[in-house]
Structure 1
Amino acid sequence: MRLSEFIVQHVNRIVDEWEQFAKAIAPDIDLMSRAILRDHAKSILLAASRDMTTAQTASEQAAKAMGEGPEKTPSLDEAAASHGELRHTVGFDLVQMTSEFRHLRACVIRLWVNGLESPDLAYFQDMIRFNEAIDEALAESTAAYAEQVNRSRDIFLAILGHDLRAPLQAVSMSTEMLLRKTKLDADALTYVSLITSGARHMAVMVSDLLAFVRSRLGTSLPIEPAPMDLASAAQAAIDEACAGQPDCTATLNVRGDTQGEWDRGRLDQLLQNLIGNALQHGANKRPVTLSITGGEEQVILTMHNYGEPIPEAAISTIFDPLVRSSSEELGGPSTSLGLGLFIVKEVVIAHQGTIEVSSNEADGTTFTVVLPKRSRPTQSL
């Protein structure tokens, strides 16, 4: 009997063995019903059987072996993906879930071989086709499981970032009230200044974290454009970045009309991250310069600093999330999550703009942002 026929005729027996194995490795068997343990096993097996009876050329077989073949069994992929999602939901870990497929493969081959009377070349081809189908199902299940893990992590980070804003606001307001209502000596003023600065850094990090999570849970950052002056926002961002830093050397150059319609909160994030990045990586006692040139339809914003240039190999990943420079990695504790430039890029994209970076030892590092003066709003998440 060909393997595809064997699977169809004995599918219930095979699924019974799947259930017993799943029961043995389940994280909390008391909460697992029989339906949960059996899950999509029957659908996966029947879809695999149908795939095995589909004609396949030698070139298609070679491509499929490398994961490059065309999708021939959408029902197999759908069942496998659903299985991966549900196994994550009921508490299986990735090793437990993938071991189910290993057991399924061994079970089917063992039961089938034990019933064979004589070997045949076609039977070996059947085993190859069955292994391909199981590998495809395993790949889909693993991808779906990993996606659920990522989404759960992102939701947790979103909740964490949201809930951190309230205590941070309480710290900031309390220090402000101390300064207003209490006469403090020099030492106390220093401590309050440190608390204020630390709270400000933490607020920026929380904002970056929330923006990062939003970008992963949706297609782009939500924006609500409104009339504003970019030059005014830039000066406020410089003032905030330099607060408490007597050696701050950030300057602003403005030319042309800098009025437009942008999301003020998002532009503040962009400016704070660009300025903070320039101050952090700029050479000591060398000025960092923010220049804004307004045109009829767009504004060009450049952030320039001197200092150690960005390695050419790192340029392509400079805007990726959770990427930190080598100097940050070696420099001990940092207020950076490695999200700043990623957030800058996401804000630019949300405003239908562009961003580029150039860096060399002679000319320094320059980030160039081009923003249209009118941006379409995006739906909030």
Structure 2
Amino acid sequence: MATRNILVINCGSSSIKFALISQAHSYPLLSGKAERLGSPEAALRWWHGDVQQHRELPGAEHHAALEAVLPLVEEACGGQLDGIGHRVVHGGEHFTQSCLIDTQAIEAIRATIPLAPLHNPANLLGIETAMQLFPGLPQVAVFDTAFHQSMPAHAFHYAIPHYLYRDHSVRRYGFHGTSHRYVSQRAAEFTGLDLGDSSWLSAHLGNGCSTCAIVNGQSRDTSMGLTPLEGLVMGTRSGDIDPNLHSHLALSLGWSLERIDRMLNKESGLLGLSGLSNDMRSLEQARVNGHPEATLAIEVFCYRLAKSLASMACALPRLDGIVFTGGIGENSSLVRAKTIGYLPLLGLAVDEIANARCVSGVSGAINAHGHPRLLVIPTDEEKQIALDTLALLDRGVH
């Protein structure tokens, strides 16, 4: 069988990330990002091998940006493009796995817009634009929420009136599913365990953060909920708060719902606690320099992460290991060590030398000898989206 090439597209409201994945290579043939779309500063940056290039696209919208990407993709794959995989944030309860995109799928994605009003419209725009530019090419939607559709009812229900779930689909959905699924598979491969007989806790830690309990390759619980705001402390998101904070701020400060939502999503988390940055690297440096709020932000982040991992353990029959991934999970030995330091009751301990070694894409075990597994595994959501796309092509669904 000839080597196949898949273009992966992640379309945001003002940006498009893309990667060209080839079966013949372990790294993308091409990757890049179009950002600030719709503004005079719109620009396209891409990497072809080790070479980074840049092109201004003043005023370009999504269609024009993808048109600019098209010849780059054609050149990089020698005109041999076999399919396109799209990241879609929310699939609701309709999508339990990735699917070929057709008219019915597009309408089902459109129906979930009320559940993800900031993300799904942009995802749909990317899909419809790509279908115009690549007519006849198989295109696949891969949903952040689909992996978590295996959660049992007692894990996904909120303790609110049932009609809100029945009539309005208010429930816990979870996100980062593509990442959690990928690293749990890699963890099983790394340790020689059968994925179908394994139990993992995974922590995806970036600007957005979530934990997940994975049993026999299926999600059993996760920290995010109806929206990506629930759960852990994140870059700018608060994570779990008292639900009555909304009314408290409205009554005591006169804040509007929009003001409160902006604060919780854009001004909280590491940024809000530190008053300095949402970037863990900057906060770690500030901590070294004695910055008290940066030190507090890191401590809160790690403590809340540890609490979440401990609670996720309720969903496991046993613990085969904990996996750290995402930009912070893969690169911050400090966060990993501090988090594990809060979990002595689980018998966990870090090997300091191994922990220090696992940064900048280096994967491996970081647990102290004789203690439960702790793994650092770089995530690769683009590769997982490409694999899902290839799997659907292999089934002849096109």
TM-score interval, normalised by the smaller of the two chains? under 0.3
Q: Which is greater in Rg? A: 1
Structure having the higher helix fraction is 1
TM value normalised by structure 2: 0.22
Structure number with the higher strand fraction is 2
